[in-house]
Amino acid sequence: MKIDRHGKAKILSQQEIELLFSEGLQSNRDRAIFGICLYTACRIRECCTLRTTDVYERFGVIFPEITFRKGDTKGKLATRAIPVIEELRILLLDYYPSPRSWFLFPGLNGTGYIHQDSAARVLRKACQRVGIRGVSTHSFRRTALTQMSNEGIPLRIIQEVSGHRNLSQLQKYLEVKPEQVRGAVSALSMLSTVGKRGYPDTPSPSPDFTSQNTEKPLF
């Protein structure tokens, strides 16, 4: 079921990601599709149109980087190569198209490549299976980019991963959490409109205590 998010795909939590990949997605192919989307921050069409030779060498050996060809990217801006981290490598080891096909994710009857609408239906059923609402194929890309931003990765570097034309387009993808807003606003407490009250390290002695100390000894 879709939820109105004003045109922005849902950001997946760690728990939702684990649930989707362990119980929602039912095949190694489906886990590989959305694993690529998550761990490379690519668009679903970029994933669906991958050639087998963009990912695997001979006999299922995985390249250190996945190549997204310029002609298959949005706007055909540039070819980009994204490193394969260990989490993605494990998913790709479990999936290897057999018999070896031209496209990494073959379409119906082994011809062409899987259509992005077909991938969206697979995801929709997986989410229904585990009771997660509001997810779209774009959620993986937006989740990945937001995670990198939250980890303090400079936007210019994130842009190299995402393939956005400019930083302003990239920034529209990044989610700001309420706790981040609260943290930012709390930093403004340094800008006090009144002087800070000073408190002595030790309290002044009471008048009674002072008078007792100033009395003359009896002897």
Question: What are the chain's domains?
Answer: 14-132 (1.10.443.10)
> pLDDT tier at 94 (50, 70, 90 boundaries)?
very high
pLDDT of residue 1: 39
Q: 0.95 cut: is pTM over it?
A: no
Reported as a single tens digit per residue, the pLDDT across 24-34 is 999 999 999 99
User: What is the rounded (10 degree) CA torsion for 149, 64, 169, 187?
Assistant: 10
CB-based contacts of 115, cutoff 8 Å, min separation 6? 48, 107
At 143-179, the pLDDT tens digits run 988 888 888 888 888 788 887 766 776 777 676 667 7
Q: Kindly report the number of other CB atoms within 10 A of residue 190's CB atom.
A: 6
